[in-house]
């Protein structure tokens, strides 16, 4: 395909990744960001083998591995009885896969530094597009033209105004439960440094600790702390007071005290709201959606950023292997369709077991599901679900999965010993 003028809306992980892929093969790329200074939003996240493979294809695996914290399993226990009700281990599936918990700042900086040299226009609040011949014109909140391109890639997230105003307006279902998040110091605290650990009281209470590595080399290790709650209850919880909230968590999980001691104000906690969102097909004319502007789910399977990175790779591959933009966008939609639909379905199925008002579902989770999960081949199947690889997402995105067995890991060290390994994928 000829060299294209491409506007990328949004300087988050999806936007930065797709800008990197496309600029490296010669397209003229410009990033447009609504904030005056691009910055990460949120606490920690769990990079899965899918997203890590995309970063490897961009040559960024070593960097993110050095900043992140290796995660070997997801472990959850009933906060009252102490019974284990979730134990998913990556090594239950073959291939040597593992997760990598990272701070959002670490992922953002890794991609942002790599994208140095790609033009970025900031402080631009885009709300609509207009198709003029074979070009896309972007318009701001005052309906002023802010640029025109052969292709516009909307990576502006779940609240995308471009998606809402297009003829592909997404189907959106706001979820009842969200979560308070905070990034806290892990020094002196008692927690499993190789696991995403959670405690539950039925499905109404979920508390979690995710060892999230460091924002920059040399920084102390941080832990992402989260507490699930209904969005409708947020104001009531705040009104009851911070001390009351801490007491509830301490009663469930006393080992959280060192983390609670660091929280002195509600402003230290970020409130995450979740929605199930689908834009079908994920393009309209020469406007294409990736990441949360195309699809989003609850966070139960930890796939959000990973799916966005796969979108970036798949779109880049489609553009490289198609004769024109319409055929490329159709190929991108086909490449991501089955993987996205599967994980949206799985997310909807799993969410009520961990975030709902149902006592019966929680009872089934704690007694029946936790037992079945131990019986082969379920451990391997659950590991593949968590890894994002229950169906192959790589081939359709033009990727070769990273060779996990080539990575040597020092279990007694806070830092992985990274071999100079790159994915063989060529985008």
Edge to edge, the sheet with strand 283-284 lists 120-121, 28-32, 5-9, 151-154, 287-289, 283-284
Of the candidates 58, 290, 69, the residue with the CA atom closest to the CA atom of residue 170: 290
Domains identified in the chain and CATH numbers = 5-41+106-174+276-405 (3.50.50.60)
In the prediction, which pLDDT does 416 show? 36
Of the candidates 379, 376, 375, 351, the residue with the CA atom closest to the CA atom of residue 365: 351
For 171, the token pair is 């189907």
For 281, the token pair is 């097909």
Q: Are strands 135-140 and 69-71 parallel, antiparallel or unpaired?
A: unpaired
Cα separation, 134 vs 149, in Å, equals 9
In the prediction, which pLDDT does 175 show? 92
Tens digits of pLDDT across the chain (427 residues): 899 999 999 999 999 999 999 999 999 999 999 999 998 877 899 999 999 999 999 999 999 999 999 999 999 999 999 999 999 999 999 899 999 999 999 999 999 999 999 999 999 999 999 999 899 999 998 999 999 999 999 999 988 999 988 888 788 889 999 999 999 999 989 999 999 999 999 999 999 999 999 999 999 999 999 999 999 999 999 999 999 999 999 999 999 999 999 999 999 999 999 988 899 999 999 999 999 999 998 887 789 999 999 999 999 999 999 999 999 999 999 999 999 999 999 998 999 999 999 999 999 999 888 899 999 999 999 999 999 999 999 999 999 999 998 865 433 333 333 333 333 333 3
In the prediction, which pLDDT does 426 show? 32
Edge to edge, the sheet with strand 84-89 lists 84-89, 73-78, 195-201, 205-213, 222-230, 177-185, 270-272
CA distances 92 to 11, 98, 165, Å, are 36, 10, 44
Residues 404 and 49: beta-carbon distance below 8 Å? yes
Cα separation, 286 vs 391, in Å, equals 29
E-state strands within 90-154: 99-103, 120-121, 126-132, 135-140, 145-149, 151-154
């Amino acid at each position: 395909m000829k060299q294209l003028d491409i506007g990328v809306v949004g300087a988050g992980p999806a936007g930065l990744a797709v800008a990197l892929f496309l600029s490296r093969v010669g397209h003229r790329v410009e990033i447009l960001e609504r904030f005056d200074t691009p910055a990460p939003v949120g606490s920690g996240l769990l990079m899965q083998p899918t997203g890590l493979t995309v970063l490897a294809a961009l040559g960024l695996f070593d960097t993110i591995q050095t900043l992140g914290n290796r995660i070997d399993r997801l472990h959850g226990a009933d906060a009252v009885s102490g019974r284990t009700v979730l134990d998913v281990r990556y090594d239950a599936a073959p291939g040597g896969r593992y997760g990598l918990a990272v701070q959002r700042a670490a992922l953002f900086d890794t991609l942002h530094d790599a994208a140095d040299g790609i033009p970025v226009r900031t402080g631009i609040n885009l709300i609509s597009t207009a198709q003029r011949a074979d070009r896309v014109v972007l318009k701001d909140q005052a309906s002023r033209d802010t640029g025109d391109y052969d292709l516009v890639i909307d990576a502006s997230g779940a609240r995308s105004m471009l998606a809402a105003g297009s003829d592909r307006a997404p189907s959106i279902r706001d979820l009842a439960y969200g979560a308070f998040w905070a990034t806290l110091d892990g020094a002196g605290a008692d927690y499993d440094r190789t696991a995403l650990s959670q405690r539950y009281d039925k499905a109404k209470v979920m508390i979690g600790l995710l060892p999230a590595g460091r924002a920059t080399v040399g920084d102390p290790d941080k832990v992402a702390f989260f507490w699930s709650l209904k969005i409708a209850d947020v104001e009531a919880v705040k009104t009851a007071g911070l001390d009351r909230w801490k007491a509830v968590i301490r009663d469930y999980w006393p080992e959280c005290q060192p983390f609670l001691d660091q929280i002195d104000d509600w402003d230290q906690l970020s409130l995450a709201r979740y929605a199930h969102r689908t834009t079908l097909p994920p393009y309209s004319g020469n406007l294409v959606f990736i990441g949360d502007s195309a699809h989003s789910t609850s966070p139960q399977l930890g796939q959000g950023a990973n799916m966005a990175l796969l979108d970036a790779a798949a779109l880049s591959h489609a553009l490289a292997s198609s004769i024109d933009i319409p055929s490329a966008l159709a190929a991108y939609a086909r490449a991501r369709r089955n993987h996205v639909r599967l994980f949206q379905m799985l997310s909807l199925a799993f969410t009520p077991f961990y975030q709902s008002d149902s006592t019966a579902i929680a009872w089934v989770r704690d007694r029946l599901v936790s037992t079945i999960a131990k019986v082969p081949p379920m451990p391997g199947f659950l590991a593949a679900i968590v890894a994002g690889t229950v169906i192959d997402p790589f081939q359709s995105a033009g990727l070769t999965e990273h060779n996990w067995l080539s990575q040597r890991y020092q279990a007694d060290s806070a830092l992985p010993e990274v071999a100079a390994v790159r994915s063989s994928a060529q985008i």
